[in-house]
Amino acid sequence: MVEVTGLVLAGGAARRLQAAHPGADKGLLPLAGRPLAAWLIDNLAPQTSSLLISANRHLDTYRQLGYPVLADHFPDLPGPLAGIHAALQVCPTEWLAVAACDTPFLPPDWVARLLADTVPAAAIPAPSQHGSPVVTAASGFQARDPACATAPRTGHPASPAKPSRIAPVVYASDPEQPHPLVAVLHRRVLPSLEAFLQGGNHRVRQWYGGQGAHTVRFDEPNAFMNLNTPEDWQQAEARLARGRAWHASVHPPY
Ligand SMILES: Nc1nc2c(ncn2[C@@H]2O[C@H](COP(=O)(O)OP(=O)(O)OP(=O)(O)O)[C@@H](O)[C@H]2O)c(=O)[nH]1
């Protein structure tokens, strides 16, 4: 089994929450009574062999969640790539699985589903036997997404055939849009990421594009719901309350 380290990204400024919650640190705001980052830890811990938290404020509070906390090495919150960079510098495994702290409803097996797209080239059937493993874009947004080098393997012959290679970055998408901060990255990308950030760049999908990133599609509805505003929080609380009500109806306490 491929060993992978999880990274909960909670180092952002949470600007959209500041009007309602001045000084808010998003990962520490409660959802159904628990810090938002704790929901991501619950999701990632069973899927990974070690776990890191990326934060730039309230580091001691984040440490109380039970995992090492890393601050960015680049100043002024340049964006999530800075958190990924700090994590790759200490990542003890070949692969890092990254999730933003504001996506509390991720599928329980998303890491394995992304890693399945990183199989070594040697494990992919040779073109002469089974057709080329090279794949083509399959949906509208993928065709528009500059970071999307290829789509899920189709097994259909492509013309002209190109040599396959292991994608060092694979990220999730759903039928509506890509989700670049639900991703697995191989640690060999660190030098490239460091050079990108040192050049004053910060755009996630611009850098992914340079890595030949793949995307894997997920069809679960609302799995990537993202909490940015107080209204998002209300929707998430209501969703959890509906889930609890459903659970109580299926498993009554008598
Ligand atoms: N380490 C680190 N993480 C960041 C940084 N900026 C954003 N993030 C994280 O990346 C994820 C997506 O961030 P955004 O939605 O762009 O920013 P945000 O801070 O969550 O919220 P807004 O400021 O309202 O956009 C979140 O998990 C953030 O905590 C950064 O500069 N450093």
**Is 52 assigned to a binding site?**
no
pLDDT digits (tens, 9 = 90+) for 171-185: 999 999 999 999 999
Q: Is the dihedral of CA 176, 5, 228, 169 positive or negative?
A: negative
How large is the average pLDDT for residues 224-245?
A: 93
pLDDT confidence of residue 117? 81
pLDDT confidence of residue 178? 97
- Say if CB 133 and CB 125 are below 8 A apart: yes
Average pLDDT, the chain: 84
- The domain locations on the chain are 4-123+130-157+165-228
Residues 6+ apart with CB under 8 A from 190: 85, 88, 89
**Comparison of pLDDT for 110 and 158, the residue scoring more:** 110
- Give the least confident one: 44-58, 73-87, 141-155: 141-155
Q: Assess whether the C-beta atom of 104 lies below 6 angstroms from ligand 1.
A: no
Residues 6+ apart with CB under 8 A from 185: 84, 88, 95, 96, 98, 168, 169
**Is a pLDDT exceeding 50 seen at residue 21?**
yes
Ligand 1 mean position to 232 CA, how many Å?
16
Architecture per CATH, domain 4-123+130-157+165-228, reads as: Alpha-Beta Complex (3.90)
pLDDT confidence of residue 132? 27
Q: How far apart are CA 117 and CA 133, in angstroms?
A: 11
pLDDT digits (tens, 9 = 90+) for 187-231: 999 999 999 999 999 999 999 999 999 999 999 989 999 999 999
How large is the average pLDDT for residues 162-169?
A: 68
Residue 33: both structure tokens together: 């009574």
Task: Assign 130 to helix, strand or coil.
Answer: helix
Among 102, 177, 207, name the best residue to mutate to test ligand 1's pocket (greatest count of ligand atoms within 8 A of Cβ): 102
